[in-house]
Amino acid sequence: KNQVEQSPQSLIILEGKNCTLQCNYTVSPFSNLRWYKQDTGRGPVSLTIMTFSENTKSNGRYTATLDADTKQSSLHITASQLSDSASYICVVTGTYKYIFGTGTRLKVLA
Amino acid sequence: DGGITQSPKYLFRKEGQNVTLSCEQNLNHDAMYWYRQDPGQGLRLIYYSQIVNDFQKGDIAEGYSVSREKKESFPLTVTSAQKNPTAFYLCASSISGPGGSYNEQFFGPGTRLTVL
């Protein structure tokens, strides 16, 4: 069964600290993997996208990694800011379908 | 500005009523999607359309209906047959269907529907 699992479900960190969010998937065949940021009550916004051949991709303080062999991805946030408080959703594209994880809810405290 | 708009932002429905959620895009995308988001769950696909005048059921289509008469518009009707419609509804679009390697979905701001 095609699934995308994210961990942890929620995370609280202090401003300025780093954190890493995890995404494991069982989608096959695999086309690409995206990370989205969703602020409360808003639509998701794309952070990064990676295909099978890409291991790392950065977008400012966000760095995503992909290990296609183990079917794992991570999103690393450096020097967190209050505005990073949001849900982060991992989405894997399979055969003509987008498969969504349940998200990690991040709270950054001052 | 290019993008996807959804209206209204908040919608209240009495039991037994049908309501229609609007979704418009000016990105010239062929594919459009409707998702439902509930707390603690991933986005679930209700309907999608890859071309005008054609649409397909997603995983949770029961109690919903759509139309795609124009490329830029994909309205969703929540019918009285949907027993638990209170949720956050998201519309999205992409250049074409999910098959392309860099075929990103762009999301609208969402509509929160509450049944009174």
Contact A14, A82 (CB under 8 A): no
To the nearest whole Å, the CA of A101 is away from the closest chain B CA by 5
Q: Chain A residues with CB-CB distance to B under 8 A? A: 4, 9, 31-32, 34, 36, 41-46, 49, 51, 89, 91, 93-98, 100-103
- Each residue of B17-65: pLDDT tens digit? 999 999 999 999 999 999 999 988 889 999 999 999 999 999 999 999 9
Sheet holding B76-78, edge to edge: B4-7, B19-25, B76-78, B64-66
- Cα distances (Å, whole numbers) of residue B60 to A4, B43, B78: 18, 11, 12
For residues B29 and A29, give the distance between their C-alpha atoms in angstroms, rounded to a whole number. Answer: 25
Reply yes or no on whether the pLDDT at B98 is more than 80: no
Determine how β-strand A10-14 pairs with β-strand A104-109: parallel
Residue A31 has what pLDDT? Answer: 84
Grade residue B100 by pLDDT with cuts at 50, 70 and 90: low
For residue B72, the 8-state DSSP code is: T
β-bridge partners, B91: B34
Residue A97 has what pLDDT? Answer: 83
For residues B61 and A39, give the distance between their C-alpha atoms in angstroms, rounded to a whole number. Answer: 26
Q: Which of A34, A51, A89 sits opposite B104 (nearest CB)?
A: A34
Grade residue A1 by pLDDT with cuts at 50, 70 and 90: confident
Kindly calculate the radius of gyration of chain A based on its CA atoms and give it in whole angstroms. Answer: 13
Grade residue A94 by pLDDT with cuts at 50, 70 and 90: confident
Dihedral sign for Cα B75, B5, A90, A94, please: positive
HSE, side-chain direction, 13 A CA sphere, residue B4 = 30
- Each residue of A26-64: pLDDT tens digit? 988 888 899 999 999 999 999 998 888 889 999 999 999
